[in-house]
Structure 1
Amino acid sequence: MPSALSLSQGTVAVVRFGRRAAMGTVAALILVAGVWASWGTAHHVMLTKGREQGTITVARCADGTCSGPYHPMSTGSTARDRVVIDDAVGVRRGEVLTVVVKPGSDEVVRSGPSGVLYAWLPLAGALLLASVVVAGGLRRPRAGWVIGAAGFAWVTVTFLAVR
């Protein structure tokens, strides 16, 4: 018959494993959600082959979006009198931005290095959130600090790039 001491040590080991498995799953789900949220825009910016590329001259901003005329730069792209870009990208009236047109719409997303950084911004937020789970839930404070610092650096660089 097992002693009470060995039974409690086994229980503690099982609980410790369960906590780590649960927190590891939560951290992984947070990161997967960040990738999922980013990919909706990122694939337009990163996989530009065959997509319409050009510039937008921002003419008007209202209700969270900006609009202006689109001037094509790639072959097969057609000029448009009005395309729409998200206002959260840090655009100002009169500014000329390089963009990629989302297929089948008049919506554009910023291209180039700043567009890539901005597209993956949800993943940077997921890194910040996952760092808390890793540091506290998994009891890996150093790894949590590294993950959090990476997310913070990403957010900061993105802010500076789209300004």
Structure 2
Amino acid sequence: MSSSAKAPSAKKPRRSRTRRAGESAYGLLLLAGRALMGFLALLLLVAGAWASWPAAQHVMFPQSREHGTMTVARCEAEHCTGPFAPVSDNATRRSKVTIERSVAADEGAEVPVVLKPGTTAVVRSGIPGLLHAWIPLGGALLLASVVVAGGMRMRRTAWGLAGVGALLLTGAFVLL
């Protein structure tokens, strides 16, 4: 016999129907688990955006809103108050407006703000206000990264989500 002759090929035994059905069911369970974790991550991100939107819309789309500065006069546990000095043409002076304490500076500081329509509540404008408005989304990004890494086994995507969330939260902390 020559060394180039091929050995007879052995046929692989066919798996039983029960084993093939079991393997398919296991694969289906894995797919369902990943789909559920993807839905949970998406739900977290939507909830974070939903919680951020009430403040973010005033900072992101300030064209028709009243712009001005607020001089912080007095701070309580959750809110600070002070007079509103208009900067834009459509704004009117107000003797007392309120802002969240977490956004306001020390008493006596002037803070650039946008007035929420129909209220005396203001939100901080500019990049610091924008980052502060999106803080709930930053937290949701961090939570979703844990779900994506652990539940979906997509570690690179999870690191990306965590990085964006951490940058957003760090930027808000540094600029405020």
Do they superpose with TM above 0.5?
A: yes
Structure number with greater Rg is 2
Matched, 1:121 2:148: no
Counterpart in the other structure of 2:108: 94
Q: CA deviation at 1:34?
A: 0.8
Structure 2 residue aligned with 1:112, among 106, 123, 126? 126
1:17 maps to what in 2? Answer: 31
Whether 1:74 aligns to 2:96 is: no
2:4 equivalent in structure 1: none
Structure 1 residues 1-163: aligned runs within 5 Å: 3-162=17-176
- State the 1:4 CA deviation: 2.6
Aligned to 2:108, what secondary structure does the other structure show? coil
- Asked whether the equivalents of residues 68 and 87 of structure 2 are also in contact (C-alpha less than 8 Å), the reply is yes
- Structure 1 SS opposite 2:22: helix
Q: Is contact 2:60–2:130 with CA below 8 Å preserved after alignment?
A: yes
Contact 2:71 2:82 in 1 (8 A): yes
Gaps of 5+ in 2: 1-15
Consecutive unaligned residues of structure 1, counting only runs of 5 or more, are: none
Name 2:13's counterpart in structure 1: none
Instruction: Report the 3-state secondary structure (helix = DSSP H, G, I; strand = E; otherwise coil) of the residue aligned with 1:88.
Output: coil
Question: Which segment drifts farther, 84-93 or 31-40?
Answer: 84-93
* CA positional deviation for 1:88: 1.4
CA contact (8 A) 2:82 2:98 kept: yes
Higher relative helix content:
1
Matched residues, number = 162
Runs (4+) of structure 1 moved beyond 4 Å?
none
Please give the alpha-carbon distance, in whole angstroms, between the structure 1 residues aligned to 2:75 and 2:40.
39
Give the Cα separation in 1 of the matches to 2:66 and 2:167. Answer: 31
Question: Percent identical across equivalent pairs?
Answer: 45
